[in-house]
Amino acid sequence: MWILAHRGASKQAPENTRKAFRLAMEQQATGIEFDTYQVENEIIVIHDRRLERTTNGHGQINNSSLEYLRSLDAGEGEQIPFLTDALGCLPADAMCNIEIKSLYDIPRWLQCLDASLQHIAMPRDNIIVSSFNHRWLKRIHQLEPDLKLGALTSSYPEEGVEFARKLNAYSVHVSLDVVDEELVRMAKAEGLQILVFTVDDPLDMQMLRDWGVDGIFTNVPDEARRVLL
Ligand code: G3P
Ligand code: CA
């Protein structure tokens, strides 16, 4: 069962920072998940639309220059990572789930992904691109049919499974609040991997393992390893 560190090892280090990603790898997570925005032809790693919660900056990501974003403290002296920085924290055999929170130009977004991958040893096959915005995933699939895609879904998981099946996606990513054993069976019957977010309680980890879930997103990868492996 995959253990994907949600925003890195984000219980012990500032979320979506290099520190959190490196710690997750030290704790032997299978890989990491992080959130991204497209700004001036770069892919920036941060969760919220606004800067206040996780940095010492102010305003919206989409109205910020790269220079300003680079100047901010994202916690414990860490900079907001760009995609290349985040991927650079991972060994070649780690999995990486890039969640798209916002983008404005899909061809450029894909070029940026390619450019980042050229700097690192990680194979393209270890990347899963996910989003709650299924229109973007559909367009990405048209442009790059070989890229692994994960359909994120929170309220209507059956629709997520149906969309993922039609898209020929790699996986469906379902909230812990709505997953049940039948949904796991349904996803697997369609040949999809099913990954569940966000799972920090050992009892939930064990339950999902018993249901045959393929992986979890967790803020506590060290705890997940103790429970699951
Ligand atoms: O990708 C799973 C999960 O991260 C989606 O929710 O709000 O944590 O990005 P959120
Ligand atoms: Ca996320």
Give the pLDDT confidence score for residue 52 in this predicted structure.
98
What would the mean pLDDT of 180-201 be, rounded to a whole number? 98
- Ligand 1 centroid vs 224 CA: distance in angstroms? 17
* C-alpha to C-alpha distance for 34 and 118, rounded to whole angstroms: 19
Number of domains observed in the structure of the chain: 1
* C-alpha to C-alpha distance for 165 and 6, rounded to whole angstroms: 25
Give the pLDDT confidence score for residue 145 in this predicted structure.
97
Tokens of 26: 């030290």
What would the mean pLDDT of 36-52 be, rounded to a whole number? 97
User: Residue 82 is part of which domain span?
Assistant: 2-228
Give the pLDDT confidence score for residue 121 in this predicted structure.
85
- Residues with CB under 6 Å of ligand 1 are 6, 33, 35, 47, 99, 130, 152, 173, 197, 217
What would the mean pLDDT of 103-130 be, rounded to a whole number? 95
User: Ligand 1 pocket: which of 98, 197, 200, 219 to mutate (most atoms <8 Å of CB)?
Assistant: 197
* C-alpha to C-alpha distance for 199 and 80, rounded to whole angstroms: 25
pLDDT in tens, 22-37: 999 999 999 999 999 9
pLDDT in tens, 146-168: 999 999 998 889 999 999 999 99
DSSP string, 94-136: -EEEEEEEE-S-HHHHHHHHHHHHHTS---GGGEEEEES-HHH
pLDDT in tens, 203-218: 999 999 999 999 999 9
- Establish whether 134 is a catalytic residue: no
What would the mean pLDDT of 79-104 be, rounded to a whole number? 97
ipTM above 0.90, yes or no: yes
Please give the model's pTM, rounded to 2 decimal places. 0.98
Question: For residues 168 and 191, is the Cβ–Cβ distance under 8 A?
Answer: no
- CATH of residue 16's domain is 3.20.20.190
pLDDT, mean over the chain: 97
Question: For residues 84 and 116, is the Cβ–Cβ distance under 8 A?
Answer: yes
Choose, from 6, 119, 141, 173, the residue flagged as catalytic.
6
- Indicate whether 229 pLDDT > 90: no
Choose, from 47, 58, 134, 141, the residue flagged as catalytic.
47
Cross-strand pairs, 152: 173
pLDDT in tens, 106-118: 999 999 999 999 9
